Structure 1
Amino acid sequence: MADILYIVIPCFNEEEVLTETTKRLTEKMRKMMESGKIADSSRILYVDDGSTDSTWHLIDRLYMDNGLVTGIKLSRNKGHQNALLAGLFEAADHADMIVSMDSDLQDDIDVLDSFVDEYYNGSEIVYGVRKSRKKDSWFKRTTAVAFYKLMRAMGVEIVYNHADYRLMSKRAVDELKNYKEVNLFLRGIIPLIGFETSTVEYDRGERFAGKSKYPLKKMIYFAIDGITSTSVRPIRMITMFGLLCILFSIIYGIYVIIGHVAGGTVQGWTTSVLLICFFGGAQIMCTGIVGEYVGKIYLETKARPRFIIEEKLTDDSKNK
């Protein structure tokens, strides 16, 4: 008997794409059901992340018209990672396997069969990995490569060229529930779960409609959150930097003393000003990095809910 598949799709102001996304996913899932690959009770689960447009009304209408669509509405905008987590946890109550993807149709839905095949072959987590970034602009391609290299250099365990297009078994999602942190970076957390994993390569397409919700500024913040949420290597780098500064100061001090004894001391303010500016800036930067960690500790100790579900689409909704 085929297992139940839920496709979890976080949405924030996505009214322009949802109709087409639902159409394509419905066709794909119908074919998978007919071939016996997934159960007839499989669903598309939309998560409205506090949208300010008519996204939720559209999800509700799609639910009424399409037996494969269901959805949940968060009480306010909590960010992509929290919305995705809410969808994963909700889906785990009904499904055997859960695929997470974006709503903009850039993720190739034709590889869903490959995801499911890997799941039946024993993989608990299947990562969707981009084949290449040839379609990206030079700037986007360069910053993306820099992002993954930086994350790895900072000690974050991350799958290269993988975003949030992945399949997880119910068992893997249940284990994910044991990770209680408020500061979420799922790309760094999920590899920590373990279990058998595999990858599926795909070509990422163009966005069907609307605008990207991740401009450069937001991507920078995302990288900072990812590093400080999953790794302490920056703190250790600060310690090493401090030790190097002490070593440099000792060497420079010896040089000054020798120069003074030899009577060749040159009284110059340039070196002093440069050193003061350099170490002053370094101290401020280090204080900022430490502050990032202190701020995250502050948020973690509050233990506020990561999301609040305001409404769920259930069979009772159709009977109203």
Structure 2
Amino acid sequence: MNPVCDRLVYVLVSVFEDRESAQQLLRAIDAVQSDWGRIRVLLIDNGSIAEPIGKEDVRALNLGIDVEILTLSIDLGQQRAIAVGLATLAEREDAQVVVVMDGDGEDRPRDIPALANGVLAGTSEITVAGRGRRDDAMTMKALRWAYRKVFSVMTGETLPYGNFSAIGGRALRRIVLMEELWTHFPATLRRVGYPIDVIDFDRGHRYAGNSKYNLVSLTVHALRSFVPFSETVLARVLWACGIVTALSLGTLFVAATMKGLGYTEPGWLTVVAGAVLTIVLQVGAIALITLLIASTGRPWRNVTPTAIAKTFVADQVVVDAIFPPGASKHSRVVTK
């Protein structure tokens, strides 16, 4: 057994109306612990109504890991549910390594050791799962490529990863003080300040049911990734507006010069001036709207996760691991 695996690793999972996938995920995580190290799962039930996951659902699995179920009073959305979970763990002294992952099976539990070992060994404070092979449709691949290009141009950063990540205790207690965490966890990782190590993993397959995401929700999620970089986005939009305005006025100056030299037909300058005026007004409107969005459109502004996370917790229960007779609470269960 690798000596760094003797330390406790928390695995944070957010689920919504997906009991079957959550149960299969817990079994897979239990198998990882059997071969690797000590794991405790914090399962966030994000206000499920039709398929809530409760204590008996977990107890029936006879797991060798402790599972804590944190039930939220309402559906906050996945990103805010993750924020509540991280704020909860930040209050615990033993939460020095936290793995965040999706609960549908596309983040593979078998990749947890490779993801967390760098943080456990102290060589990395944040390690994320990069985008490996994915079985996506061509349309989705094209949209994802376009999003990455736009994100890079607008923010000057790259975001080649999702929620699947391992973070150390210092990064954990820093990120929960950032209001941007309410909006987009992966993008906020870029703002924490620690270097980010990226390890590419292939995408797994969903355990059961269909994804709750559609094109609209994915678009909203993508747009929210710009929020942690709103000041940078604002500055770049204003620079672009300034460049377009300067080029438009330059075009008008050239047109006026050509008119004065007699190189144009009657009425041509009027057409150019009208086009330039239209462009300048549109650019001005874009600049004004961008300014208003950046200054007033940030959700949960000035409210950090640590301040209000407990407000949304409706219930909190712990399902202890099933240990063989005579085993201590700190024994590692190995299933043969």
TM value normalised by structure 1: 0.82
* 1:235–1:13 distance in 2 versus 1, CA, 3 Å: same
Q: What is the rounded CA distance, in whole Å, between the counterparts of 1:113 and 1:172 in structure 2?
A: 19
The aligned counterpart of 2:47 is 50
- Structure 1 runs not aligned, ≥5 long: none
Alpha-carbon offset, residue 195 of structure 1: 3.9
- Structure 2 runs not aligned, ≥5 long: 321-336
1:129 partner letter = G
Secondary structure of the equivalent of 2:127?
strand
Contact 2:83 2:181 in 1 (8 A): no
Alpha-carbon offset, residue 208 of structure 1: 1.9
The aligned counterpart of 1:147 is 147
Q: What is the rounded CA distance, in whole Å, between the counterparts of 1:298 and 1:83 in structure 2?
A: 15
Alpha-carbon offset, residue 50 of structure 1: 1.7
* 1:173–1:146 distance in 2 versus 1, CA, 3 Å: same
The aligned counterpart of 1:225 is 224
Alpha-carbon offset, residue 163 of structure 1: 0.4
* 1:91–1:301 distance in 2 versus 1, CA, 3 Å: closer
Q: What is the rounded CA distance, in whole Å, between the counterparts of 1:196 and 1:266 in structure 2?
A: 62
Larger displacement relative to structure 2 (136-145 or 267-276) = 267-276
Contact 1:115 1:200 in 2 (8 A): yes
Contact 1:47 1:71 in 2 (8 A): yes
The aligned counterpart of 1:7 is 11
Alpha-carbon offset, residue 7 of structure 1: 1.0
The aligned counterpart of 1:85 is 83
Alpha-carbon offset, residue 83 of structure 1: 0.6
The aligned counterpart of 2:71 is 73
Give deviations 1:131-180, integer Å, cap 9, x for gaps: 233x22111112222222222222254442x1010111222211212323
State the aligned residue count.
Answer: 305
Secondary structure of the equivalent of 1:208?
coil
1:292 aligns with 2:293: yes
The aligned counterpart of 1:60 is 55
Secondary structure of the equivalent of 2:143?
helix
Q: What is the rounded CA distance, in whole Å, between the counterparts of 1:114 and 1:102 in structure 2?
A: 17
Give deviations 1:218-264, integer Å, cap 9, x for gaps: 22222222213324233223332333313422431342354156384
Contact 1:183 1:229 in 2 (8 A): no
Alpha-carbon offset, residue 108 of structure 1: 1.8
Q: What is the rounded CA distance, in whole Å, between the counterparts of 2:172 and 2:126 in structure 1?
A: 9
TM value normalised by structure 2: 0.79
1:18 aligns with 2:22: yes
For residues 100-115 of structure 1, what are the structure 2 equivalents within 5 Å?
Answer: 100-115=100-115
The aligned counterpart of 2:126 is 125
